[in-house]
Structure 1
Amino acid sequence: MDKIYTTLNKVIEALLAVIFGLLVIDVVWQVVSRYVVGQSSSFTEEFARFSLIWLTVLGAAHINGSKDGHLSMDFLLTKLPEEKKIKRQKIIQIMMAVFALVIMVIGGGNLVYITLSLGQTSSALQVPLGFVYAIVPVSGLIIIFFSYYNIKKLNF
């Protein structure tokens, strides 16, 4: 399981770096085309929005896995004795996995299914919106895997 964990982390890190690089190139091109060329490109704003969605949602999954970090206030957690701290961290990981399953995997999967079945496409890039939203259930599955891994790590 450690090999899957490290491989998945490296793949996500590389994908995040590529998405971020494309986002920077896109925004630079948008500025250059608007102020130097005098005509704004039609696709740059939409591509920036879609890549920011992917960067944010996939980045949240990566932070949960690689740093065992998430949005939390851990002041009270750090004050607990070690055995209660481990129990509380397991509860937190279980709650994160349940959230990821219900909201991201099931809800996001329904969103992807509906947008693909309705044939919704983006206006400038003509990309099916289901492909853009597909990162939500994928990231949910990644969060569930990382939560399971973090719980197993707490047992040892």
Structure 2
Amino acid sequence: MKRVFIYGLMVAFLFAGTAFLAVAQEDTERVTLRTLSVDWYEYSGAGVKLQYRTFNNEPVILYLPASFERELFRFIDTPKGYGGVQSLPILLVHMKGREVIFIDIYTRFMRTKGRISDFNQQDMDNFAAQEQKSKIELKFY
């Protein structure tokens, strides 16, 4: 009888804990971090063009104008002595509710894995359109 009671309490605490976590995810006062893998990225004076993968493994192209750097995104080298990171580069997305606050682009040796590129006119138009929005919108699913 005691064993059934203890198991019942454990299940009740488990449900109570998961309900609390579900509510905490939608709390707009807290910052949520999400990671997305990056297939490739190119950069120039105009900004950064990259292809990331959604949670459904769908490729998406993202344009980050140079004017957004340090305001809405930045490049970060992996911590020193942190070997064996196979999935770089990655995006670490800081979100408040559903709004993207900031993006960290984790790379190896800063930008050396990216390609320096001369973007065509369509890319430049996409950078200008993204700059007009003045915020970053990501697709997760």
Tell me the TM-score range normalised by the shorter chain: under 0.3
Larger radius of gyration: 2
- What is the TM-score of this pair, normalised by structure 1? 0.24
Per residue, is there more strand in 1 or in 2?
Answer: 2
Higher helix share: 1
The alignment's TM-score, normalised by the length of structure 2, stands at 0.26
